[in-house]
Amino acid sequence: MNLIYDQGSSLKLKKFLEQKYGGLDVLINNRLYDAISIAEVTMRTNFWGTLWVCHALLPILRHNARVVNVSSFVSKKSLDQLFNLFLCLSLDRFRNKDLIQARVLTETRPGDGILLNACCPGWVRTDMAGPNATKSPEEGAETPVCLAMLPEGAKEPHGQLVWDKTVQEW
């Protein structure tokens, strides 16, 4: 079974995509939800899984590719709490205004035109969020699709958090 929290499946996917298609134009990461998941599975899925997929697939991104990491308000809130903890410990150098992966892409692949961003689709009517959520699946898809379809030659947004097609402050 290929799951995002299995590092080997990310490497198998990379090999398949390289052999079959020669690379990748768009990568959209989303977290999985399992009502009975424990902390280890949650971390493997939401953090490590996305990191493994990116480590495997970022090297085969083509020129002008787009990477969209789908997140949530809860993730942003958790990140804010971690940053506040770091600040309290006088480690404010860890508070960056962009995504580390975006910075690495800019440094290692300058001129490739690759844009990497995170986004929050909002409260979307899914099995996880329930029927009372304020957005339809189509409305929730607007921001990730907008980021995935940024035109060739676009420079921004890059390394940003985007909600409702608007860049937000980290």
* Rounded (10°) CA dihedral 150, 107, 86, 97: -40
Name the pLDDT band for 117 (thresholds 50, 70, 90). Answer: very high
Residue % of the chain over a pLDDT of 90: 46
pLDDT in tens, 72-84: 766 656 555 555 5
Q: What angle do CA 111, 65, 101 make, to 5 degrees?
A: 75
Mean pLDDT of the chain: 80
Q: Is residue 2 part of a domain?
A: no
Rounded CA-CA distance 154/142 in Å is 18
Structure tokens at 92: 């404010």
Overall domain count for the chain: 1
Helix (H, G, I), strand (E, B) or coil at 105: helix
pLDDT in tens, 128-144: 889 999 999 999 999 99
Residue % of the chain over a pLDDT of 70: 71
Read off the CATH number of the domain in which 40 is found: 3.40.50.720
pTM of the model: 0.69
Rounded CA-CA distance 102/118 in Å is 10
Look at residue 1 and tell me whether its pLDDT is greater than 70: no
Q: Is residue 1 part of a domain?
A: no
Q: Is residue 94 part of a domain?
A: yes
Rounded CA-CA distance 34/10 in Å is 20
Q: Is residue 48 part of a domain?
A: yes
Helix (H, G, I), strand (E, B) or coil at 70: strand
Q: Is residue 89 part of a domain?
A: yes
Cβ atoms of 56 and 14 within 8 Å: the answer is yes
Look at residue 39 and tell me whether its pLDDT is greater than 60: no
The maximal CA–CA distance of the chain, rounded, in angstroms, is: 49
The pLDDT value recorded for residue 78 is 58
CB neighbours of 132 closer than 8 A, spacing ≥ 6? Answer: 125
Structure tokens at 149: 């379809």
Q: Is residue 120 part of a domain?
A: yes
Cβ atoms of 28 and 70 within 8 Å: the answer is yes
Look at residue 165 and tell me whether its pLDDT is greater than 70: yes
Q: Is residue 45 part of a domain?
A: yes
Domain that holds residue 155: 7-168
Rounded CA-CA distance 121/142 in Å is 8
